[in-house]
Chain A
């Protein structure tokens, strides 16, 4: 994907960072993007190698995302190389099995761009980044409860005594309709089994 031979890159990572256990996540379709999975404990070393190596360098960090797969969490790093002759992109993934208190090392020392990106992931998913200098909420207020982008998040009704989710403003009929459709589908699936 994106001008990078992922198999070559994964073998390079495995050679240079022992224990990183890089595995290529091949997309089922050519139009979709493939990615590389590595062990969560080796992310700092891998990021350092990605930035400083001479074979396939990545000089910028574009984004850090969290994804909630219900049974586990995933942190997704997107690296890019801003080079006119060798532009490339890489999606690097780290799987965190502990969903209650997920933790991963910070790469803020390698890519300063990670500072705010990691704060955003912490804000939205509650994933803690070890060795981050200033891990606070960034978009939500400091006293906000819960992690909004987790799939099991229930929208808060009140915040500091202010009604923020007024039922009079909600069109529950539509929402019920969609939920009902999903329930019918689920029932049919269980029946088929």
Chain B
């Protein structure tokens, strides 16, 4: 049905024509490849030693600065994969109401802020709705874990809070 028939006409002229055409196009291609010997910089980088600088807007691992979080749950509502878990409670009376860095009062006390990074699709919708800009995408991209439970990040844990100095630029 679909056979290559055009080049099998059989005449001597076509035979040598095909042969010449084949050699010519191959040589042209080889010459283009050969030119890469000179003056072409390597395009790949040797990854663990050399790292590319990520652009400013790069969306990598999420980080929540719990000191500024007002537990408004807007990020959990915006999340298309429902990977943000927030719990909060009323402050006991008499406790001092702190303020966030942009001046909003923190009325509720945050008791849980967990993100299942294994489910996160890095779409960035949660960071755009955040009113105090405490939920941000950091530039960390190497965070493999041995177990899937290790991907659930509790942002109230002290070791996660300790990332703050590195990520949040004041």
- Which residues of A pack against B, CB within 8 Å? 169-171, 173-175, 177
Do the beta carbons of B119 and A174 come within 8 Å of each other? no
B59-103 CB contacts (< 8 Å) to partner A: 73, 76-77, 79, 82-85, 87
A90 to B85, CA, bound (A): 45
Interface of B is mostly: mixed
A170 to B83, CA, bound (A): 8
A173 to B112, CA, bound (A): 13
The interface residues of chain B lying within 8 Å CB-to-CB of A170 are 82
Interface size on B, residues (CB 8 A): 11
Q: Mark B128-140, 1 if CB is under 8 A from A, else 0.
A: 0000000000000
The interface residues of chain A lying within 8 Å CB-to-CB of B84 are 171, 174
The interface residues of chain A lying within 8 Å CB-to-CB of B77 are 174, 177
CB<8 Å pairs between A and B, sample of 18: A169-B116, A170-B82, A171-B76, A171-B82, A171-B83, A171-B84, A171-B85, A171-B116, A173-B76, A173-B85, A173-B87, A174-B76, A174-B77, A174-B79, A174-B82, A174-B84, A175-B82, A177-B77
CB distance from B160 to the nearest CB of A (A): 19
Extra contacts, 17 of them, besides A171-B82, A171-B84, A174-B77 (Cβ < 8 A), are: A169-B116, A169-B119, A170-B82, A171-B76, A171-B83, A171-B85, A171-B116, A173-B76, A173-B85, A173-B87, A174-B76, A174-B79, A174-B82, A174-B84, A175-B82, A177-B73, A177-B77
